[in-house]
Amino acid sequence: MDLIPSFAVDHTNLQPGIYVSRQDEAGGVVITTYDIRMTAPNHEPCLNPAAIHTIEHLVATYLRNLDGWKENIIYWGPMGCLTGNYLIMKGYYSCEEVRQLMIGAFEYVRDYDDEVPGTTPATCGNYLMHDLPMAKYEAKRYLERLRNHFCSEYPGVERPEDASGKVFFDA
């Protein structure tokens, strides 16, 4: 498979959706990083840290227990800008396949009504920083975007360089 060319993303024009952020090869296996973008960067409020932290715990639990998928889940976690999450998968799935996966994951968050898994001092680095009601609200909002206003094509922009010629990567 051809790896996607390296390109930068115009964050002033990015809509919530699911995007292929990058593809890498490791040991002859393609590793795909998906941008699971929940809010429009620099236009809408980002998620609050406690809500996206709870989404991290719940979606990671969901994905790592999901038959047919769990073997290929490498990583799930929030972006530092708090506008979405990264999903890293072994292999390649289309954005449409990942959309179906995410609809299941965010329905799980929306309907979750129990203690958030892993919220003890021994299992979480900030176990008091959780917000299940806001996580459920954000999940419901994102589900609406996934179902009715789905985007999967990145708007491009040139990568910035610093004075010494170092190129900026990532979000």
Binding site for Zn ion (CB under 5 A): 124
Give whichever of 5 and 121 is closer to Zn ion, judged by the CB atom. 121
Give whichever of 42 and 126 is closer to Zn ion, judged by the CB atom. 126
What does the alpha-carbon distance between residue 126 and residue 9 come to, in Å, rounded to a whole number?
31
What does the alpha-carbon distance between residue 58 and residue 76 come to, in Å, rounded to a whole number?
10
Cβ at position 42, least distance to Zn ion in Å: 27
Cβ at position 50, least distance to Zn ion in Å: 10
Residue nearest to Zn ion (CB): 124
N residues, the chain: 171
Q: Helix, strand or coil for residue 2?
A: coil
Give whichever of 20 and 135 is closer to Zn ion, judged by the CB atom. 135
Per-position b or e across 72-96, b if 16+ CB within 10 A of its CB: ebeebebbeebbbbbbbbeeebebe
Q: How buried is 123 (Cβ within 10 angstroms: 0-12 exposed, 13-18 middle, 19+ buried)?
A: exposed
Cβ at position 123, least distance to Zn ion in Å: 8
Cβ at position 70, least distance to Zn ion in Å: 20
What does the alpha-carbon distance between residue 104 and residue 36 come to, in Å, rounded to a whole number?
14
Give whichever of 73 and 98 is closer to Zn ion, judged by the CB atom. 73
Cβ at position 56, least distance to Zn ion in Å: 6
Give whichever of 37 and 57 is closer to Zn ion, judged by the CB atom. 57
